[in-house]
Structure 1
Amino acid sequence: MIKKRFLIFTLLCSLSLFAQDYFPKNDGVTAKNTNYTAFTNAKIYITPTQVIQKGTLLIKDGKIVTSGVSVNIPENAVVIDVSGKSIYPSFIDMYSSFGVEKPKRSSSNSRTPQYDASRTGYYWNDHVMPENKASEKFNYDSKAATELLKAGFGVVNTHIQDGIVRGSGTLVALNNKDGNETRILDESSAQYLSFRKSITSRQSYPGSLMGSIALLRQLYLDADWYAKGQSKTKDLSIEALNNNKSLVQIFDAGSRASILRADKVGDESGIQYVILGGGDEYERINDIKATNAPLIIPLNFPKAYDVENAFLASTLSLADMRAWNQKPTNPKILAENNVIFALTTHDLKSSKDFKSNLIKAIKHGLSKEKALEALTTIPAQLLGKSNMIGSLKNGSQANFLITSGNIFEEKTTLYENWVQGKQTVLENMNTEDITGDYEFSLTSYPFKMNISGEPNKLKVKITSAEKTRGSKITFKDEWINIAFTTVDSTKQEFIRVVANVDANKNLNGKAIMPNGNEFPFYAKYIEKEIASISKSKEEKESEEEKIFPITFPNNSYGFEKLPKAETLLFKNTTVWTNESDGVLKNTDVLIKNGKIAKIGQNLSDSNAKVIDAKGKHLTAGIIDEHSHIAAASINEGGQNSSAEVSIEDVIDETDINIYRNLAGGVTSIQILHGSANPIGGRSAIIKLKWGESANNLIYKNSPKFIKFALGENVKQTRAQNNVRFPQTRMGVEQVYMDYFTRAKAYDALKKSGKPYRKDIELDVLAEILNKERFISCHSYVQSEINMLMKVTEKFNFNINTFTHILEGYKVADKMKAHGVGGSTFSDWWAYKYEVNDAIPYNAAIMHNAGVTVAINSDDAEMSRRLNQEAAKSVKYGGVSEEEAWKFVTLNPAKLLHIDSRVGSIKVGKDADVVLWSNHPLSIYAKAEKTLIEGVTYFDLEQDRMMRSKIKKEKSELLNMMMQAKNKGLKTQPIKKKVKEDLHCDSIDNEHQH
């Protein structure tokens, strides 16, 4: 009985011991932690700017108790001497999907588009899911956590990466020892958003980037209406959105351009997003800085291209080549411009790549202090958790790293990562560094040996008689084991060595020969002499990677400095005024302060740059009434009305077609929404100011326009399995009747002073009813043209422009009576059924009937030769040269209501002019200079120089990529990219936005 009691007592004592925490000492012996743990003699980074030399860090119960040079260590503390080591706060990743299963694409095989939401009781759009909670779908992944711990991270902010509004994220400590009740620091740490649809829903809307932007705007308006208690319907999504309003709002933009778009949406709703960038922020750093948005920056730098195949290499764009060269400088440029940013592992194939890319950013100018801030104090501050994580201040969680030295250096070893006071050993701190060069002899043969790599992944190279011996090495528990082949090359025999390292890094042990004989082994460590001779400036520059200058835009033909307005005097040229003066010969034109200042003969101005234009022609810049260049998105076809979307939200100022249009004398364009639905989106009227930011292209006080469409496209003649209304031309008419009836009622309620729910779509349609917005309508068939004129007259307004209008010649008299203009093609026909009746005399017939006529492109290639398109009306219909020229200058200006500013050469108008080498309607005419507001955006001579410069830069970059490959760096294959030119029927690729 006594024996039994003793055994039970012993067992209970053992169990109680195993229930306690243990911490290994430096000697590898396990010691019981009954109270405190003290780390002594360390270089401690309390914060990036507060560093203690040879200090002590004291922790207890998973938190920092204190730190300093003279810390009073309690008697019962476990003391760990980390002499020569450094201690840093563990890193924080604000943008992660850790522990959250990747959403699965909708499994439905149906090809029929889904227009309505699949849920009841929630918002009308499936892609809005603020009610989602990462905490409810979170499963701790210890394997993934270990990889992050190895990269230096201690805390991640994880979320469901799916949808436009994604719900709340969860802040998680990477504590492999405890459960979720300890690990989860905040179940609702942030709300996440993006411009990308959910892959779990097939709902068609939004089908474009501009649709996503419009959806967010409307959502915020609806949430405000709901918060005021005005909604009669319960909506769980909007309730969740409003409940999450106090959280940090993190927006996945993914690119410089979309950062600006997201920030604009946030500003309109009084929200300052923290925005995930794309690493290209350096291209427009002033615009990025002006947002005042804190950023989360990925470190996914592109690899050099494999350019050995000269044919494939010739397909590389300068923009892609520059991205490889310039992107590593992005963090440095952000820091230099005082942009607040955190760093993330997002977009990396593996967290193992994080350190190498971070070191690359540091080599490209990012300071180590800023790097540490971006991984510790800044993410903690942005998450509102500075009192808990991100530093080693008293009271913070005991999340820290122990390293062999500066953590941002290649050879530094990360030994341990402590999270919430729980230790993860990554490398043994007692392991000696045995890397380097050695010499030894065996049986009178001399050998040389080089050991390299990390302690757990060492490599050894042994040579003798100028031949490399096959060899392997392991280093564990302070013992080194090496095996290498003998000098006798006729036999595959191995010599085995077992040794340990002495204080001078020499190796002592024994060597076992293939026959079993043993000999003493001694390998002497060879100290390398440090060169004291300083390198010349030229040598240093040759070793540093050349960074090519950023241009505006940052691709081919961009300006290193944006051009400025000049005072210019064109002398003795032929001036096409487009005014009552007609064509003036041997005339001077003075351009000053961005305006046309004087027109006449023998003009002079002492400050003017004189241009001899004798034998040349000066005209107003060409205006394209119907274009689809310079936009990232054209169609929002997810609904039969998309009046809420705007092309102004998706202008792409980097589109090379802007430059090509300037080379064709084009200075202004209207970027129209496509023709996917009867009521399309709002247009953007822009000046082609190559190099300026997207917002600076838009006309100031721009006239308001919207795109409507008729015919085959909107009734989806060529679509399969489509069910969206309308399906017939009769249905198209009914769409207009229904929407304008609704808009009329909405406008009446709005004007009544009673409470109303703001609806962006109906607001826009009400503007049409109030004659504050103009319609440009895609049209072909006379019956539909008549129909729409009658519909609008019922609501007491007119169509502004029928575009395409290829059967306009049949109804020109009715168009004149209605007061609508026609913007047409010169000679396109028979490219689809409803175009079969088109004739090249269309423009002339409409013009002769008194209709204001323009020739448009609707095509990125044709827009570069609109001067020649206008000339066709001289051939087909006998239109005079002056009137034909107005078809692409003054008339489109009138149709766009900008003729008071542009379209003719008249004193006081904007100096948007083109100097032609020949008669402007000639196929031999070249635009030698294209000016907008007195700024030369295209110059033929400058273009020739730029081509030579581009060729040289590409050649240098190709050579640098070859060198990178020869150094053993990884490369990526070249994939030929063809930029799609957008048209009326272009549809965004699914989920691309």
Structure 2
Amino acid sequence: MKKALLLLFLSVFLTKMHAQDYFPINESVHNKNNNYTVFTNATIYVTPNQKIEKGTLLIQDGKIVSVGTNIAIPKNSITINLEGKTIYPSFIDLYTTFGIEKPKRNLTGGRRDASYDTKRVGFYWNESIRPETNSYESFTYDQPKADELLKAGFGVVSTHIADGVAQGTGALIALNNTDDKNRIISNKLTNHFAFTKSALTNQAYPSSLMGMMALLRQMYLDLDWYKKGNAENKDLSLEALANNEKLIQIFATEDKLNSLRAAKIAKEFGLNYILKGSGNEFERIEEIKNTNAKFIIPISFPEAYDVSNPYQSNQIELADMRFWNQAPTNLKVLSDNGVVFALTTDKLKKIEDFRTNLLKAIKLGFDKTKALEALTTIPASILGKSNEIGSLKAGCFANFVITSGEIFDEKTILFENWVQGSKFVINDINGKDIRGNYDLTIGKDTYKWKIEGTAEAPKSDLTTADAKKIKSTFSVAKNWISLLVKPADTIKSNYTRLTGFIEKPEILSGKAVLSNGEETQWTAVRTSAFIAIKDTLKPEKPIAIMPTTYPNVAFGDSKKLTAQTLLFKNATVWTNEKEGILTETDVLIKNGKIAAVGKNLSDATATVVDAKGKHITSGIIDEHSHIAISKGVNESGHNSTAEVTIQDVVNSEDINIYRDLAGGVTISQLLHGSANPIGGRSAIVKWKWGAAPEDMLYKNQPKFIKFALGENVKQANWGIDNPTRFPQTRMGVEQVFIDYFQRAKEYDESWKKFKANSKKEKAPRVDLEMETLAEILNKERFITCHSYVESEILMLMNVAEKFNFNVNTFTHILEGYKVADKMKAHGVGASTFSDWWAYKFEVNDAIPFNGPIMHNAGVVVAYNSDDAEMSRRLNQEAAKAVKYGNIPEEEAWKFVTLNPAKLLHIDDKVGSIKMGKDADVVLWSDNPLSIYAKAEKTIIEGVVYFDIEKDAEKQAAITKERNILIGQMLQEKNKGGQTQTPTKKEKKEYHCDTLEE
């Protein structure tokens, strides 16, 4: 009886032990074991590329002493025979928040309570800059989480506080469950950044992605200035930032385009960021490769969509369906392109999915050796810790995993994970295979007992002698069997409880406690061995991977497009030049330029296009657009944000680009919104569909900035839940301009004085906001101003004249007809709507004759969109100048082509059909001012970015691809795979007054 109770106690005790030696030893000895431990006869991967057969690994005091085939084994060593087993270095995760409590939001009353200045004394002015934060100071070892990571093969993690733009330092932690004194390998090893606002601040700034990029630039400029001893007061944040410069710099980008943005910052300031990506890098692999950065890549692949309901499946965008299909290839694509990367468990719902996803990537071509490198030697090298972790070389920590075979084989069992010489048991290395068919006897009762499943996780099926199923619960741990049996002849009685230690799989036995409390013995004799049912079906083929397109969304192209030599014959050509509209005329496009305009042109290398009955114009130019912008059109955190630029946040994946091309638009000015009087700098872009964001930017573009007047900037229509800041009145708006221009003037003078004195004094602080405003004063940057009411239009012209510069463009300008003579005298142009009115109070006086009246007064007039839908119908907007103002058709067409080019100061290159200008042209099916006209080809610098015939082919291909992907997802669901419910993604279309949530 006592012996049976002792065995039962041991069975419970052993199942709870995470780190147990092969031999029973005193717990104090366990923690203070200075003996050698020797692992013999194993296949040992010293590194991913160095394998030893029948090798020996010798460890002591948590370190590797030696590894090889002829190792002298010290006396009194604990020797463990691992014949048939394999040893690998434990994995390293460079990007976790292990042991760190998630920062909690500190918004006491929502956005209405937003502040603009920091209350922290002695720190940086913006509270999202927190480099003084050290993760080790708030670190608490999380054993349950550590167990999950250990089971997945990880031995070391880097952890940090993921909060803010500059997030502070990260620590390196060993997942050692038994030695809390040596867990922290390094207190400060990494320095972290991200495009995220701190949860611990109520500051309104930054409220957008472009604001975060501007903040980073200002931070680095301030750091340089501070290090040179120019500051009067000590700044603890900048002190910490300077002290952290030699640490490993990790930037969490969370998107392929954000990786390019972070790389842009790194290039500007000579930094070396390790970029923590998102898993979609394959979609921009050429640009990702050209960053020359090292990456940390998550493998949290998306679940298939449940597409069984056809109505719901129609809500899923092709890009999302395609990403599910393509995401597992990301690691192979990165590897094949020579990108150096480590892997992370970040973003996984469950750590156990890490191995599943990695094996999926390997099945799709990711090399196993590269996978092991990405988990061991590469992260160790990135951290500069190759002499301590990531390999099994002498002197490294004794961090290793013992497996039943090749670690990336689906059938391989992970037995143990040793960290700093401390053992963590994943599966019993000495476990016995008890699978088979048994005759089970419990007292006087007999049963048929089938044990199947896998050797490390067997499953049980119990029936009576006459094949009636018996309810039972079965488990095996540490070679101890536990079986609960519900007697067949009772309903409310307790289970019969069986326990026993496995000595020989052929005969199992132990003690049974019957449902009535009596004790007896049980015996199970194996009648036949387990035979795995052979799969007679053909091996399942991997799903077909959809090809990546440029961009990798609907209507993307299978390859990057290139310029062509094109000869359009016998077209009606709207030149926008003194030649006017030419009939039966040829246009030759070559080397991205308009090579010739005339009759009877020829070129043997050209593709000839019959344009008889069709019209050719220069591409439409939209002076005021908000499409294709990432994470915020407004930086609304301050009343002046001249430091931010839309050029940082061009979104090359926006389907509205393709729609604009289909409407004949080739160039747009992407403007900051109108949330503040002084907004951000603009981006002039050419809609090169499929190109990277940087390649869309107009080369050597003139400098512009967005200003705004009216209801938006004084927050009259922001709602009660939004913060209130200066200005709140129209007169306050004027004062903002005067104050900031005066500051900019003084700032500019201080720099000129500093440079004139041969830099003998302390340098002024570089202020990106003041730099931009000084460019306006020095006539190096132009203003496009959101405007409505005549009084404010006059006000800004007066302010400009006071500071000796001119406003370049009034946009919207719906009361421009009232002050057209004053605008002409000032020299300002107008970019207006054709006939929008009454959509808010200050628009009530708008009239559709506004554009023609200003045009007739001698003002350069353009029609803009300010709207994703209108931007692809600007040809029809131009026609309204004919309808409402009797403007000649040729002049009306200039409202959307040559005139906006003049306003943007790019009319020397674009805006008309003239030899030598950029080949930005559109072939129309009809008079371009007609509602029946369709853009048949839209060409930018000789590249056909939209072709109406190819568009029809693309639409058919999209339908076909969707059907293939739906079939794959249905197959995934039928196999029992995890699925997610389809939901329609509501894409935010930006307008002037759009604020980020």
> What TM-score results when the alignment is normalised by the length of structure 2?
0.92
- Within-5 A mapping of 1:923-962: 923-962=931-970
Residues of 2 paired with 1:97 and 1:476: CA distance? Answer: 32
Query: Structure 1 pair 509/888, CA: closer, same or farther in 2 (3 Å)?
Result: same
Equivalent residue number for residue 580 of structure 1: 578
Equivalent residue number for residue 472 of structure 1: 473
Secondary structure (helix, strand or coil) at the match of 2:182 reads helix
Equivalent residue number for residue 521 of structure 1: 525
Alignment of 1:677 onto 2:685: no
Counterpart of 2:689, as a letter, is W
- Within-5 A mapping of 1:345-360: 345-360=345-360
Counterpart of 1:367, as a letter, is D
Note the C-alpha offset of 1:262.
0.8
Counterpart of 1:937, as a letter, is Y
The answer (yes or no) to whether the contact 2:19–2:424 under 8 Å persists in 1 is no
The answer (yes or no) to whether the contact 1:256–1:281 under 8 Å persists in 2 is yes
- Select between 409-418 and 628-637 the one with higher mean Cα deviation: 409-418
Residues of 2 paired with 1:517 and 1:351: CA distance? Answer: 41
Alignment of 1:605 onto 2:603: yes
User: In the TM superposition, what whole-angstrom CA distance separates every residue of 1:490-544 from its partner, at most 9, and x where no partner exists?
Assistant: 99999998888788x756569999999977622322445879x9x9xxx66x612
User: In the TM superposition, what whole-angstrom CA distance separates every residue of 1:438-487 from its partner, at most 9, and x where no partner exists?
Assistant: 587999999684521573x5323468999866443222443545567899
The answer (yes or no) to whether the contact 1:440–1:524 under 8 Å persists in 2 is no
- Select between 348-357 and 386-395 the one with higher mean Cα deviation: 348-357
Alignment of 1:311 onto 2:311: yes
Query: Structure 1 pair 603/42, CA: closer, same or farther in 2 (3 Å)?
Result: same
- Within-5 A mapping of 1:272-421: 272-421=272-421
Alignment of 1:778 onto 2:786: yes
The answer (yes or no) to whether the contact 1:567–1:609 under 8 Å persists in 2 is yes
Residues of 1 paired with 2:496 and 2:440: CA distance? Answer: 12
Query: Structure 1 pair 522/933, CA: closer, same or farther in 2 (3 Å)?
Result: same
Note the C-alpha offset of 1:34.
4.7
Query: Structure 1 pair 506/919, CA: closer, same or farther in 2 (3 Å)?
Result: farther
Equivalent residue number for residue 910 of structure 2: 902
Counterpart of 1:76, as a letter, is N
Residues of 1 paired with 2:352 and 2:798: CA distance? Answer: 66
Equivalent residue number for residue 634 of structure 1: 633
Equivalent residue number for residue 749 of structure 2: 748
Counterpart of 2:113, as a letter, is T
Q: Which one of the candidate residues 549, 561, 567 is aligned to 1:551? A: 549
- Select between 132-141 and 863-872 the one with higher mean Cα deviation: 132-141
Secondary structure (helix, strand or coil) at the match of 2:885 reads coil
Query: Structure 1 pair 510/724, CA: closer, same or farther in 2 (3 Å)?
Result: closer
User: In the TM superposition, what whole-angstrom CA distance separates every residue of 1:210-250 from its partner, at most 9, and x where no partner exists?
Assistant: 00000000000001000000111211111111011111111
The answer (yes or no) to whether the contact 1:508–1:523 under 8 Å persists in 2 is no
Note the C-alpha offset of 1:756.
2.2
Identity of aligned pairs, percent? 57
Residues of 1 paired with 2:524 and 2:944: CA distance? Answer: 81
Note the C-alpha offset of 1:972.
1.1
- Within-5 A mapping of 1:99-248: 99-109=99-109, 111-179=112-180, 181-248=181-248
Alignment of 1:972 onto 2:970: no
Counterpart of 2:431, as a letter, is T
- Select between 613-622 and 208-217 the one with higher mean Cα deviation: 613-622
Counterpart of 1:712, as a letter, is E
Secondary structure (helix, strand or coil) at the match of 1:187 reads strand
Note the C-alpha offset of 1:829.
0.5
The answer (yes or no) to whether the contact 2:835–2:847 under 8 Å persists in 1 is yes
Counterpart of 1:563, as a letter, is L
Q: Which one of the candidate residues 548, 568, 571 is aligned to 1:570? A: 568
The answer (yes or no) to whether the contact 1:497–1:521 under 8 Å persists in 2 is no
The answer (yes or no) to whether the contact 2:90–2:417 under 8 Å persists in 1 is yes
Note the C-alpha offset of 1:717.
0.8
Structure 1 gap ranges (5+): 1-20
User: In the TM superposition, what whole-angstrom CA distance separates every residue of 1:630-665 from its partner, at most 9, and x where no partner exists?
Assistant: 111210010111110010100000000000000111
The answer (yes or no) to whether the contact 1:511–1:521 under 8 Å persists in 2 is no
The answer (yes or no) to whether the contact 2:622–2:668 under 8 Å persists in 1 is yes
Secondary structure (helix, strand or coil) at the match of 2:297 reads strand
- Select between 731-740 and 490-499 the one with higher mean Cα deviation: 490-499
Query: Structure 1 pair 958/382, CA: closer, same or farther in 2 (3 Å)?
Result: same
Counterpart of 1:735, as a letter, is V
Note the C-alpha offset of 1:584.
0.9
Counterpart of 1:768, as a letter, is I
User: In the TM superposition, what whole-angstrom CA distance separates every residue of 1:673-711 from its partner, at most 9, and x where no partner exists?
Assistant: 000111110100001110111111001111111101111
Secondary structure (helix, strand or coil) at the match of 2:651 reads coil
Query: Structure 1 pair 821/485, CA: closer, same or farther in 2 (3 Å)?
Result: same
Note the C-alpha offset of 1:749.
2.1
Residues of 1 paired with 2:468 and 2:357: CA distance? Answer: 36
Equivalent residue number for residue 5 of structure 2: none
Residues of 1 paired with 2:837 and 2:155: CA distance? Answer: 65
The answer (yes or no) to whether the contact 1:25–1:80 under 8 Å persists in 2 is no
User: In the TM superposition, what whole-angstrom CA distance separates every residue of 1:848-879 from its partner, at most 9, and x where no partner exists?
Assistant: 00000000000000001000011011010110
The answer (yes or no) to whether the contact 2:451–2:458 under 8 Å persists in 1 is no
Q: Which one of the candidate residues 785, 806, 818 is aligned to 2:814? A: 806
Structure 2 gap ranges (5+): 1-16
Residues of 1 paired with 2:881 and 2:489: CA distance? Answer: 91
Equivalent residue number for residue 706 of structure 1: 705
Residues of 1 paired with 2:421 and 2:127: CA distance? Answer: 42
The answer (yes or no) to whether the contact 2:438–2:524 under 8 Å persists in 1 is no
The answer (yes or no) to whether the contact 2:674–2:707 under 8 Å persists in 1 is yes
Equivalent residue number for residue 60 of structure 1: 60
Note the C-alpha offset of 1:902.
1.0
Query: Structure 1 pair 440/368, CA: closer, same or farther in 2 (3 Å)?
Result: farther
Secondary structure (helix, strand or coil) at the match of 1:396 reads coil
Query: Structure 1 pair 972/340, CA: closer, same or farther in 2 (3 Å)?
Result: same
Secondary structure (helix, strand or coil) at the match of 1:267 reads helix
The answer (yes or no) to whether the contact 2:20–2:424 under 8 Å persists in 1 is no
CA RMSD of aligned residues (A): 2.7
Number of positions where the alignment pairs a residue of Structure 1 with one of Structure 2: 959
Secondary structure (helix, strand or coil) at the match of 2:735 reads helix
Query: Structure 1 pair 40/874, CA: closer, same or farther in 2 (3 Å)?
Result: same
The answer (yes or no) to whether the contact 2:437–2:526 under 8 Å persists in 1 is no
Residues of 1 paired with 2:425 and 2:261: CA distance? Answer: 44
- Within-5 A mapping of 1:464-503: 470-480=471-481
Note the C-alpha offset of 1:272.
0.7
- Select between 657-666 and 410-419 the one with higher mean Cα deviation: 410-419
Residues of 2 paired with 1:387 and 1:859: CA distance? Answer: 58
The answer (yes or no) to whether the contact 1:647–1:683 under 8 Å persists in 2 is yes
- Select between 689-698 and 39-48 the one with higher mean Cα deviation: 39-48
Counterpart of 1:806, as a letter, is L
Equivalent residue number for residue 864 of structure 1: 872
Residues of 1 paired with 2:300 and 2:189: CA distance? Answer: 25
Equivalent residue number for residue 429 of structure 1: 429
Residues of 1 paired with 2:523 and 2:338: CA distance? Answer: 64
> What TM-score results when the alignment is normalised by the length of structure 1?
0.92
Secondary structure (helix, strand or coil) at the match of 1:561 reads coil
Residues of 2 paired with 1:810 and 1:467: CA distance? Answer: 95
The answer (yes or no) to whether the contact 1:417–1:425 under 8 Å persists in 2 is yes
Secondary structure (helix, strand or coil) at the match of 1:323 reads helix
The answer (yes or no) to whether the contact 2:19–2:425 under 8 Å persists in 1 is no
Note the C-alpha offset of 1:425.
2.1
Equivalent residue number for residue 4 of structure 1: none
Counterpart of 1:398, as a letter, is A
Residues of 2 paired with 1:773 and 1:693: CA distance? Answer: 26
Query: Structure 1 pair 49/791, CA: closer, same or farther in 2 (3 Å)?
Result: same
Secondary structure (helix, strand or coil) at the match of 1:521 reads strand
Query: Structure 1 pair 26/899, CA: closer, same or farther in 2 (3 Å)?
Result: same
Query: Structure 1 pair 358/461, CA: closer, same or farther in 2 (3 Å)?
Result: farther
Secondary structure (helix, strand or coil) at the match of 1:169 reads strand
User: In the TM superposition, what whole-angstrom CA distance separates every residue of 1:72-114 from its partner, at most 9, and x where no partner exists?
Assistant: 0001211111221111111111111111111111051262321
Residues of 1 paired with 2:771 and 2:874: CA distance? Answer: 35
- Select between 875-884 and 739-748 the one with higher mean Cα deviation: 739-748
Alignment of 1:825 onto 2:824: no
